[in-house]
Amino acid sequence: MTAWERMGLVHDKNRPTISDYIPAIFTRFMEFHGDRYYGDDAAILGGIGYLSDTAVTVIAQMKGRNLEENKRSNFSMPHPEGYRKALRLAKQAEKFKRPIICLVDTPGAYCGIEAEKRGQGEAIARNLYEFMTLKTPIISVVLGEGGSGGALALAVCDELAMLENALYSVISPRGAASILWKDSSKEREACEILKITAEDLTKFGVCDKIIKEPDGGAQNAPEQAADSIYEYLVDAVNRLNSADRTELVERRYQKFRKIGMYAE
């Protein structure tokens, strides 16, 4: 399947979101609000719950299932306070020795006046910086769209998994087309050039695990998709939770440290 075809699936209005996945994957889930500085951003949902019998912290980007939900969650485009809430909950997870599960699904961090005033760049940078050395396992799963820095802010992790049809890109194909050819309608061409599928990202050492989707895409059998994510997460948490914390952090640094292609 081409990247463009997968993009169609990712944008399918029936594609499951965290509203479907969280109840199916976690038990006794409780949502926590606010960054303690400015406000609460509905584009990022955070809380705690059980994954099987392990208490975990969940940080997830909120794609709405309809216009009303999307208005509330700003189409899953977080403001700085969303990233700061994520960081607060991540530090809390470290304190109470809970593994962190990040569920990534965003077109990107929000671009607007207020986001700039409150330091969108600083908020994302701070997450990259702090997540790199948190002494607790971090597992990120890209569910649909992984839009640039807005996704990366929840994806500095020990393992990155992607749903089979999920995409993760440095720039939206539309944005790339408008920069490259001054023509955003060439989105389709940019989509293929950018190499943004789970398969591509596995080759680059960015994606560690591809989670298979039901035939034709997750929207055809949301429960089955949730089961596959659950199985992966239980396995990953068990593996990572037994690792020595210092080693875990060192391996995380090395995972990102070695990504790059150059000659000398």
Give the footprint of other proteins on this chain (CB under 8 A).
Answer: 109, 111-113, 115-122, 124-126, 128-130, 132-133, 148-149, 152-153, 155-156, 168-171, 175-176, 179, 193-196, 200-201, 204, 206, 253, 256-257, 259-264
Supply the minimum distance, in Å, between the C-beta of residue 23 and other proteins: 31
Q: Which residue has the tokens 């600083």?
A: 122
Residue 205 has, within 13 A of its CA and on its CB side, a CA count of 9
Supply the minimum distance, in Å, between the C-beta of residue 26 and other proteins: 26
In this structure, what are the phi and psi dihedrals at residue 251, rounded to the nearest 5 degrees? -65, -35
Supply the minimum distance, in Å, between the C-beta of residue 107 and other proteins: 12
CB 81 within 8 A of CB 117: no
Which residue number, 14 or 254, has a Cβ lying nearer to other proteins?
Answer: 254
Which residue number, 215 or 264, has a Cβ lying nearer to other proteins?
Answer: 264
State which H helix or E strand residue 22 sits in: helix 18-25
- What number of other Cβ atoms are within 10 A of residue 139's Cβ? 24
Supply the minimum distance, in Å, between the C-beta of residue 112 and other proteins: 6
Report how far residue 72's alpha carbon sits from residue 141's, in angstroms, rounded to the nearest whole number. 23
Supply the minimum distance, in Å, between the C-beta of residue 113 and other proteins: 7
Which residue number, 96 or 253, has a Cβ lying nearer to other proteins?
Answer: 253
CB 218 within 8 A of CB 165: yes
> CA geometry: angle at 93 spanning 127 and 106, to 5°?
45
Supply the minimum distance, in Å, between the C-beta of residue 42 and other proteins: 18
Supply the minimum distance, in Å, between the C-beta of residue 258 and other proteins: 9
Which residue number, 16 or 137, has a Cβ lying nearer to other proteins?
Answer: 137
Which residue number, 69 or 130, has a Cβ lying nearer to other proteins?
Answer: 130
Report how far residue 173's alpha carbon sits from residue 157's, in angstroms, rounded to the nearest whole number. 25
Which residue number, 51 or 155, has a Cβ lying nearer to other proteins?
Answer: 155
Which residue number, 67 or 261, has a Cβ lying nearer to other proteins?
Answer: 261
Report how far residue 244's alpha carbon sits from residue 231's, in angstroms, rounded to the nearest whole number. 23
Nearest to 146 by CA among 108, 200, 173: 108
CB 159 within 8 A of CB 100: no
